[in-house]
């Protein structure tokens, strides 16, 4: 009997440990200051879709019309790491890109009020390889809506 109680107590403590060690869950009000934002703009309609990616892979969409936030399923850890590392490489290399087309994609890194942004024409056949890979991943996120 005592062994059963000790076993249940140990299982309970172990489960609490696993729960507390998980990555933080953010809400629209607690999205970290350091984050990657990406999306697309349509030059004809003026519409913009902005997605916010937290380092833990949580994904939010911010409506440019209603200023509302929608939370989606997490992005795969591997994809979130790729997005963050590619954007960090772009920042470290002082890479600037500002090409606007009918449909313009963008990615930016925000840390509080500090913002660095890159824009490119989604139909540009001459995108650098790293931007093309990033663009393909971002487009797959746009299309899936991760929900």
80 domain-assigned = yes
What is residue 119's predicted lDDT score, i.e. its pLDDT?
94
Q: How many CB atoms lie under 10 A from the CB of residue 65?
A: 7
Q: Give the single-character DSSP code of 98.
A: B
How does pLDDT run across 18-48, given as a tens digit for each residue? 444 567 889 888 989 999 999 998 878 777 8
> Is the pLDDT assigned to residue 121 strictly greater than 50?
yes
11 domain-assigned = no
Give how many domains the chain has, as a whole number.
1
> Is the pLDDT assigned to residue 112 strictly greater than 80?
yes
Helix 77-92 with 129-144: angle, nearest 10 deg: 140
How does pLDDT run across 65-88, given as a tens digit for each residue? 777 888 988 999 999 999 999 999
Mean pLDDT, rounded, for 94-116: 89
135 domain-assigned = yes
What is residue 1's predicted lDDT score, i.e. its pLDDT?
57
Degrees to nearest 5, angle at CA 79 with 45 and 23: 110
67 domain-assigned = yes
**CATH code: domain of residue 92:** 3.30.1560
Question: Which residues span the domain enclosing 35?
Answer: 25-144
107 domain-assigned = yes
What is residue 16's predicted lDDT score, i.e. its pLDDT?
43
- State the average pLDDT for the chain: 82
3 domain-assigned = no
Q: Give the single-character DSSP code of 73.
A: P
């Amino acid at each position: 009997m005592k062994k059963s109680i000790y076993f249940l107590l140990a299982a309970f403590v172990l489960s609490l440990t696993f729960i507390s060690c998980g990555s933080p869950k953010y809400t629209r009000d607690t999205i970290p200051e350091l984050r990657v934002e990406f999306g697309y703009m349509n030059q004809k309609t003026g519409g913009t879709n902005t997605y916010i990616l937290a380092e833990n892979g949580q994904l939010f969409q911010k409506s440019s019309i209603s200023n509302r936030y929608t939370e989606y399923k997490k992005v795969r850890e591997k994809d979130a790491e790729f997005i963050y590392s590619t954007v960090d490489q772009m920042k470290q290399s002082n890479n600037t890109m500002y090409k606007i087309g009918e449909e313009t994609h963008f990615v930016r890194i925000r840390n509080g009020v500090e913002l660095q942004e890159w824009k490119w024409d989604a139909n540009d056949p001459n995108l650098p390889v790293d931007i093309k890979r990033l663009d393909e991943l971002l487009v797959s996120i746009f299309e899936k809506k991760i929900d």
